[in-house]
Amino acid sequence: MFIKQAFNYQYQFWRYIIGVIIIFIAVILGQIPFGVALFLKEGIGVSKLTETEMMQVLDSNLSLFLMLLTFAVGLGGVFFVSKVLHNQPIKGLTTTRKKIDWRRFFFAFGLVAIFAIATTLLDYLANPENYLFNFQLVPFLILVVIAIVMVPLQTSFEEYLFRGYLMQGIGVFVKNKWLPLILTSVIFGSLHFFNPEVTKLGNIIMIYYIGTGFMLGVMTLMDEGMELALGFHAGNNLITALLVTADWTAFQTNSILKDISEPTAGWNVIIPVFIVYPIFLYIMGKKYGWSNWKQKLFGRVEKPRMLNHLSDS
């Protein structure tokens, strides 16, 4: 009933159109500090730099902070429009439960963190020539502080925008669950098209981004709340930022390791989406007793009868 509960608030579709515009403006405003810092450093020539080159102009910790600040401001925009335009509290945008279940958040966080650490360690042991030991104590400690504070804000912005605000807004408009799941997943993945990873690996990487969007959307609909998706996304990005960096990734960090191999995209894109992600969903489904998958993913979204009666009167 995660989508359906949007009917309890101001859910007219025009409010969502204005809300998206306000959120977009908030993101643009959040980019200003990074743009100013780059301009002060590079001058007019900054306009000719690629995204990867922009991340390398400033100190990596400063670049990371300023980049993530964009998403923090965007998150504030989502909360603002939810409260002001829709009279919807954060809990109503997050979950159907009586209160936000942080145990779910940390379970998903821990699950993906353990997986990321284990697979990185195994790959490092199997292919040490592909990695450079990048650890420097002081820059790393600064990175830890920035990442712990800012990365969850970045991932929460994406989750609250796509799995929360847009999932509910599209769902109450089209009156079903499958279309908002598809649209939010495709839009979420498509917005990563301009990431440097796509330039380096090719369009096949979009399977990973869109597939990740689908998995997070399925988590949200099956669990009737965003806690698992919030924790999973935060854990994945945070551990990645701390463990491994590369010259061709969106996150340029003072991480423990630096991947110096020549990247390729193939089975390493397909396997996570079609094998690893279903395993994650299976584990969560068993733990939280998910059932009635067809109804929860493809069912109708009906306005509650009481609200129909009130609107008719």
Is the model's pLDDT at 50 over the cut of 80? Answer: no
- Higher-pLDDT residue of 192 and 276 is 276
Overall average pLDDT of the 70-86 stretch: 98
What are the respective helix, strand and coil percentages of the chain, to the nearest 5?
A: 75, 5, 20
Strand 257-259: give its sheet, edge to edge: 131-133, 257-259, 244-245
At residue 300, what is the residue type?
R
Is the model's pLDDT at 306 over the cut of 90? Answer: no
Residues 58/41, Cβ–Cβ less than 8 Å = yes
CA distance 291 to 224: 12
**Among all chains, which residue has been given the structure tokens 């990442």?**
147
**Among all chains, which residue has been given the structure tokens 């959120």?**
23
Overall average pLDDT of the 93-98 stretch: 96
Name which of 102-111, 129-138, 240-249 the model is least confident about: 240-249
Is the model's pLDDT at 190 over the cut of 60? Answer: yes
Task: From residue 194, give the alpha-carbon distance in Å to each of 48, 121, 201, 216, 304.
Answer: 15, 29, 12, 21, 41
Considering its fold, how many domains does the chain have in total? 1
pLDDT at 146 (0 to 100): 97
Q: What's the pLDDT band for 257 if we cut at 50, 70, 90? A: very high
User: Distance of alpha carbon 221 from its chain centroid, rounded?
Assistant: 16
Is the model's pLDDT at 227 over the cut of 90? Answer: yes
Q: Name the H helices within 162-226.
A: 167-174, 178-190, 196-201, 206-223
pLDDT at 157 (0 to 100): 98
State the residue range of the domain holding 141.
4-312
Angle at 257 between CA 144 and CA 193, to 5 degrees: 85
pLDDT at 38 (0 to 100): 87
Q: What's the pLDDT band for 9 if we cut at 50, 70, 90? A: very high
CA distance 154 to 156: 5
- Higher-pLDDT residue of 267 and 74 is 74
Q: What's the pLDDT band for 263 if we cut at 50, 70, 90? A: confident
pLDDT at 220 (0 to 100): 98
pLDDT tens-digit series, residues 55-64 = 777 888 999 9
DSSP labels for 72-118?
HHHHHHHHHHHHHTT---HHHHHBSSSS--HHHHHHHHHHHHHHHHH
Paired strand residues for 132: 258
Fill in the DSSP letter of residue 301: -
Q: What's the pLDDT band for 202 if we cut at 50, 70, 90? A: confident
CA distance 30 to 247: 24
Is the model's pLDDT at 41 over the cut of 50? Answer: yes
Angle at 37 between CA 36 and CA 40, to 5 degrees: 85
Is the model's pLDDT at 296 over the cut of 80? Answer: yes
pLDDT tens-digit series, residues 108-151 = 999 999 999 999 999 999 999 999 999 999 999 999 999 999 99
pLDDT at 311 (0 to 100): 44
Classify each residue of 95-119 as buried b or exposed e, where b means 16 or more C-beta atoms within 10 Å of its C-beta: beeeebbeebbebbbebbbebbeee
Residues 217/184, Cβ–Cβ less than 8 Å = yes
